[in-house]
Amino acid sequence: MTLLDQLVALEGVRPTQPRVAICAAIESSTDHPDAEVLMARANATHATVYRTVKLLTEIGAIRAFDFFGDGRNRYEVNSGDFHGHAISRSTGIVTDIDIAPYAKIVRETVEKAGEMKLLVITE
């Protein structure tokens, strides 16, 4: 089910052209775009992007991450797969990394601590 289909089915929103474009921009992204990037890619207003990503986050269709602690969320489709993020502080590039080989240790840590944020940060 696409992001737009989930919005329509779960929230009853109309599939307007800006929402179609925002959902498509998120689904086709591999770079974890923030709201500013989504506004440019979808040619949508600030308010429409923020309302749309808020709804998508609330229904669990996408995940939001503040990788740099600057209050700017980056978004990705919640595919349910088990992965981490490699982050370059100098370039701002965020890349998915496969952490499946470490799944047991990560899950044990989460069980003990209640939460875990796995980030690989490079300069």
pLDDT (tens digit per residue) in 11-23:
888 899 999 999 9
What is the reported pLDDT for 123? 43
**Residues found in the chain:** 123
Q: Where are the domains of the chain?
A: 3-77, 83-122
Structural tokens at position 49: 């992007």
Pairing of strands 119-122, 83-88: parallel
Torsion, Cα 105 95 45 78, to 10 degrees, reads -40
Q: Which residues of 66-89 are buried (b: 16+ CB within 10 A; e: fewer)?
A: ebeeeeebbbbbbeeeeebbebee
What is the reported pLDDT for 119? 56
At 87-116, the pLDDT tens digits run: 887 888 888 888 778 777 777 777 777 655
Select the more confidently predicted residue: 9 or 40: 40
At 43-74, the pLDDT tens digits run: 999 999 999 999 999 999 999 999 888 899 99
Strands, DSSP E only, in the chain? 62-65, 74-77, 83-88, 94-98, 119-122
Fold of 3-77: Arc Repressor Mutant, subunit A (1.10.10)
Most confident of 5-14, 16-25, 75-84: 16-25
Q: How confident is the model at residue 82 (pLDDT cuts 50, 70, 90)?
A: confident
What is the reported pLDDT for 114? 66
> Tokens 């669990």 label which residue?
60
